[in-house]
Structure 1
Amino acid sequence: MRHPEYQYLDLMDRVLTSGDERVDRTGVGTRSVFGAMVRFDLSGGQVPILTTKRVYWKTAVKEMLWFLTGGTNIQPLLRENVRIWSDWPLAAYRRESGEDISQEAFEARIVADDAFAAKWGELGPVYGKQWRRWMGADGQEYDQIATLVQTLRENPSSRRMLFHGWNVAELGGMALPPCHMVYQYHVTSDGRLNCLMFQRSVDLLLGAPFNYVGAVALQLMLAQQAGLTPGEFIWAGGDVHLYLNHLDQAREQMSRAPRTFPTMQLARKPDSIDGYKIEDFVVDGYAPHAAIKADVAV
């Protein structure tokens, strides 16, 4: 049986060889294809933490746990040594203050100074706000995650088990509109929880590997909370692209042979979806190739 990671590598090859090259929002330029899908079977315990380069899976899980808090400020992330959201507020601070501050100094100030963090660490109403505190036209806040957990427990045959982050009225206030924007769930008759995640825009080299891990970590949490077992994780991409300054790195990754996927398990069952911590995620058997460095396009 062909290693499931080849789905990702084949998609990377497709983008490299037949992608449409154009200027993008960041000015870096991309090579992209429109419309793609990959599927991973989680039922045996293995999870798609890619092996053709090291993926810092704890960072991806910490980000997902932060989303679940409903938070929109990078200070808690930085205190967990997660720096993947710093670029956007740092760019805003440099632009508005005129100060040519280093990323390290900016992050240190965010961590140490609550007032500074409150002003400059905000990302606007991004993922967690929409997932946990969607503001309806009726003035009510809606917790999409809590509703999902309840439905999984009480009406698992529902075709309405989903949440999304594309709140049109609040897009303008977001540092970055949601890329992984819709998560839909499906429960089989024998109690397996499947997830389909649609990502409108994906940085294939840097973003997709993180997004796979975060979505699967959430799927495991939801399955445990609802008394189900993990089934399939299906990822669908809209604009799937490689930045033009990532092409050499992509070729390097494609030259490597996939290794056995690791397993991920939950060490305990918290009382609610809000009770998980990074220590609850146990990954065994992860022996990837070396990390591949690349710059984030902002």
Structure 2
Amino acid sequence: MLNRHPEYQYLDLMNQVLERGDRRIDRTGVGTLSIFGAMIRFDLSAGAPLLTTKRVYWKTAVKEMLWFLTGDTNIQALLKENVRIWSDWPLTRYRKETGESVSQDVFEARIVEDDDFARRWGDLGPVYGKQWRRWQGPDGREHDQIAGVIDALRKNPSSRRILFHAWNVAEIDQMALPPCHMVYQFHVSNGRLSCMLLQRSVDLLLGCPFNWIGAAALQSMIAQQCDLEPGDFVWVGGDVHLYLNHLDQARLQLTREPRPLPRLRLKRRPPSIDAYRIEDFEVEGYDPHPHIAAEVAV
């Protein structure tokens, strides 16, 4: 039991949702099977939390994390990096407000090519990056939570207050999607930086694998900037669910045996948290089962 592959934590959770999940009508109208409350732990020194029972496009997740760190909230920059995972929300708004049944490809191409169009239709509101890097206080002053975390880790690593979050109550109604991965808390022990991520809403098949490897990339960057080694990644899920149109895909994934976890490596040390690029990341030894396709519920 002690040598059980860490990925079985994910597979066990998926099986639990399938067997015991409460059938619910959700915001998207698709419907879910849902349980409440879960915890999973990975030791990053033993491998990255990158699923092997299906291929996860880890570069897309890391590019998204790097985009969050810029503080940007417009999908134009993401689309220029060929990251399309945020297009559904502004596209849905565009179709609803204009009545045009434009295709996603046409909409995205116009966002990339037309700056004025991107400013009007590509912005997601004050989502993650805005809250992480430019949280606005009641006095109008902006707070860079990421810089605050790094400063605290360098100066007072035993503090129990080293965290950041994106649940800005005053601005939630302006966001295309309220934050799902909400709170990141950090802990230092024996030169190792551990991170606990609280995620209020968990699309277990599609969103969760991206959130895990994105968070591991963030944890690795912050550890490097603070002269620490990556420690444990602890994930806590609130409403953990499978969409009803993902059940066959989940059952397929459960038939697969996990393979050795890969390693996430940083190839250089940039001068600051703002200077990382996708080329700085390398995943070694990733040999997953084939990708499993599924539709995003919007």
Pair in the same fold by TM > 0.5:
yes
Structure 1: 5+ residue runs without aligned partners? none
Letter in 1 for 2:239: D
Which residue of 4, 7, 22 corresponds with 2:6? Answer: 4
Residue of structure 2 in register with 1:58 after alignment: 59
Q: Partners of 1:201 and 1:145 in 2: how far apart?
A: 22
Residue of structure 1 in register with 2:15 after alignment: 13
1:221: Cα distance to partner? 0.1
1:48: Cα distance to partner? 1.0
Q: Partners of 1:136 and 1:230 in 2: how far apart?
A: 32
Q: How does 1:83-232 map to 2 (within 5 A)?
A: 83-188=84-189, 190-232=190-232
Q: How does 1:281-292 map to 2 (within 5 A)?
A: 281-292=281-292
SS at match of 2:45: coil
Residue of structure 2 in register with 1:246 after alignment: 246
Q: Partners of 1:33 and 1:71 in 2: how far apart?
A: 33
SS at match of 1:3: coil
1:138: Cα distance to partner? 1.7
1:211: Cα distance to partner? 0.3
Q: Partners of 2:49 and 2:179 in 1: how far apart?
A: 22
SS at match of 1:172: helix
SS at match of 1:199: strand
Letter in 2 for 1:27: G
Residue of structure 1 in register with 2:27 after alignment: 25
Q: After superposition, give the CA deviation of every residue in 1:184-232 in whole Å (9 maximum; x if it has no partner).
A: 00000x1100000000001000000000000000000000000000100
The root-mean-square deviation of aligned C-alpha atoms, in Å, is: 0.5
1:277: Cα distance to partner? 0.1
With structure 1 as the length reference, what TM-score do the two structures score? 0.99
1:139: Cα distance to partner? 1.3
Residue of structure 1 in register with 2:277 after alignment: 277
Structure 2: 5+ residue runs without aligned partners? none
Residue of structure 1 in register with 2:41 after alignment: 39
Q: How many residue pairs are counted as aligned between the two chains?
A: 296
Q: Partners of 2:266 and 2:22 in 1: how far apart?
A: 41
1:78: Cα distance to partner? 0.2
Q: Which structure 1 residue ranges, 4+ long, deviate > 6 Å from structure 2?
A: none
Q: Partners of 2:147 and 2:24 in 1: how far apart?
A: 41
Q: After superposition, give the CA deviation of every residue in 1:152-196 in whole Å (9 maximum; x if it has no partner).
A: 1111011100000000000000000000000000000x1100000
1:22: Cα distance to partner? 1.0
Letter in 2 for 1:29: G
**Is the counterpart of residue 49 in structure 1 residue 50 in structure 2?**
yes
**Is the counterpart of residue 295 in structure 1 residue 298 in structure 2?**
no
Q: Partners of 1:6 and 1:43 in 2: how far apart?
A: 18
With structure 2 as the length reference, what TM-score do the two structures score? 0.99
